[in-house]
């Protein structure tokens, strides 16, 4: 029975689980370590937030390089090396006592996680799909959304064992889970029987039937610039919220356990956006669908200013989460559809690099907003306005004329 399953779906499954683990531990789970580290080591919000920014900086610098490497050597080798290095970094992080050591181990973690990011997993999936690339990427990216399930586990582990042993457990998990799954990945269909799904010429509406755009041609196009600007603003907003959601809620009187549940709900609720907007992108113009995701993110950020009201907190989750989940899927779907498969990894690496610029700035600015202004709310208003601007930018994206 399983032999009849198109192998690309096994690639989707493996990338789903890898994204779930890396997203839960490295991206969404970091907020659970904020207060324990601050209480033990006495560092400020800005100092701790800077580690996340350094992680984003290194991943941003490496993202274009990863794009070129994955295009040449394939996703499998990068995933193997990335999961191993991430595990080493997490174990070493459990031993730090100095701020310099804290930053250094975060850079090592970022180096490892760079081999497991969506540059690699989206390339792995896009190599296997053609007609249904939007829904395939949506399913895979839902692993990153489901990573919210790991946040309460991390909170409970920290409460039971402390933050240092928890990091050792998470590092070992990267090896036990990530390495075997990486071995499942096949970089590209090896023969006609395993060619990318949908490449049969039977769907005249598939825009990727145009010749693939070359890398140099793509990066010079205005559409690629708009896509990069939109991604930078998206990550500016997402990283600021994800890193600071628990301290923000706790400072507004929310109990730590409930704040952890809210933090976990962000990626979980985003699954609806990853599936829903992924499906819509296979049926409607992708730039319009992407613009919608930015609009609802903007509305969610405004609601985030009023979390003292339970209804507004719920509205924030229901708007912001599907918005950032759907926009994550759409960046890859637009690349595959508007620019083709040949330079997909390289172009996605460049876009990830642009997004990491926003990821570098977001957490540190949010920490500064609290430390110097005494409130996160001015930052949320600014991010809401910027995200609305990005919706206008992405509407200008067009397929390259051939």
Match domain 8-188+213-394 to its CATH number in 2.60.40.10, 1.10.3720.10, 1.10.10.10, 1.20.1250.20.
Answer: 1.20.1250.20
Q: How far is CA 301 from the centre of its chain?
A: 18
Q: Which residues of 84-100 are buried (b: 16+ CB within 10 A; e: fewer)?
A: bbbbbbbbbbbebeeee
pLDDT computed for residue 229 by the predictor: 93
pLDDT computed for residue 213 by the predictor: 61
* DSSP assigned state of 151: H
Beta bridge partners of 129: 197
39-60 pLDDT per residue, tens: 899 888 778 878 877 776 666 6
Angle, CA 68 vertex, CA 56 and CA 136 arms, to 5°: 80
CA–CA separation, 112 and 81 (whole Å)? 7
119-129 pLDDT per residue, tens: 889 888 888 88
Q: Answer with the residue of higher pLDDT: 282 or 80.
A: 80
User: Is the overall model pTM greater than 0.75, yes or no?
Assistant: no
Does position 143 have pLDDT exceeding 90, yes or no?
no
Token pair for 206: 């598939």
Computed over every residue of the chain, the mean pLDDT equals: 84
150-165 pLDDT per residue, tens: 888 998 999 999 999 9
169-225 pLDDT per residue, tens: 999 999 999 999 999 998 776 544 455 555 554 343 444 455 456 778 878 889 889
Other CB atoms within 10 A of residue 299 CB:
18
Token pair for 6: 């198109």
pLDDT computed for residue 191 by the predictor: 47
């Amino acid at each position: 029975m399983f032999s009849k399953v198109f192998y690309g779906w096994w690639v989707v499954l493996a990338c789903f689980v890898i994204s779930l683990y890396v997203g839960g531990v490295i991206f969404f789970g970091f907020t659970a370590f904020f207060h324990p580290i601050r209480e033990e080591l006495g560092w400020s919000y800005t100092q701790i937030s800077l580690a996340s920014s350094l992680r984003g900086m290194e991943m941003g610098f490496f993202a274009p390089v990863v794009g070129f490497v994955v295009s040449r050597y394939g996703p499998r080798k990068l995933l193997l090396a990335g999961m191993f290095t991430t595990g080493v970094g997490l174990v070493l992080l459990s031993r730090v006592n100095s701020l310099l050591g804290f930053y250094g181990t975060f850079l090592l973690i970022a180096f490892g996680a760079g081999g497991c990011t969506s540059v690699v997993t989206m390339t792995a999936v896009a190599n296997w799909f053609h007609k249904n690339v939007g829904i395939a990427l949506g399913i895979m990216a839902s692993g990153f959304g489901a990573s919210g399930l790991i946040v309460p586990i991390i909170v409970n582990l920290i409460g039971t064992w402390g933050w240092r042993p928890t990091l050792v457990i998470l590092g070992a998990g990267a090896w036990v889970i990530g390495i075997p799954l990486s071995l499942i990945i096949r970089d590209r269909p090896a023969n006609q029987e395993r060619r990318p799904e949908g490449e049969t010429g039977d769907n005249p509406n598939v825009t990727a039937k145009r010749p693939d755009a070359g890398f140099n041609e793509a990066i010079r196009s205005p559409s690629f610039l708009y896509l990069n600007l939109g991604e930078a603003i998206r990550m500016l907003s997402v990283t600021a919220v994800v890193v600071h959601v628990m301290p923000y809620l706790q400072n507004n009187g929310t109990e730590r356990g409930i704040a952890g549940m809210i933090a976990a709900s962000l990626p979980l609720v985003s699954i609806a956006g990853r599936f829903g907007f992924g499906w819509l992108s296979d049926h409607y113009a992708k730039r319009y669908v992407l613009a919608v995701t930015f609009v609802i993110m903007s509305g969610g950020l405004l609601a985030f200013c009023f979390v003292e009201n339970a209804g507004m907190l719920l509205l924030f989750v229901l708007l912001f989460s599907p918005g950032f989940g759907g926009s994550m899927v759409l960046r890859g779907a637009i690349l595959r559809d508007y620019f083709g498969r040949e330079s997909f990894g390289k172009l996605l690496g460049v876009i990830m690099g642009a997004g990491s610029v926003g990821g570098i700035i977001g957490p540190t600015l949010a920490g500064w907003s609290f430390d110097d202004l005494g409130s996160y709310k001015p930052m949320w208003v600014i991010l809401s306005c910027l995200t609305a601007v990005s919706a206008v930018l992405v509407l200008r994206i067009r397929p390259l004329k051939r």
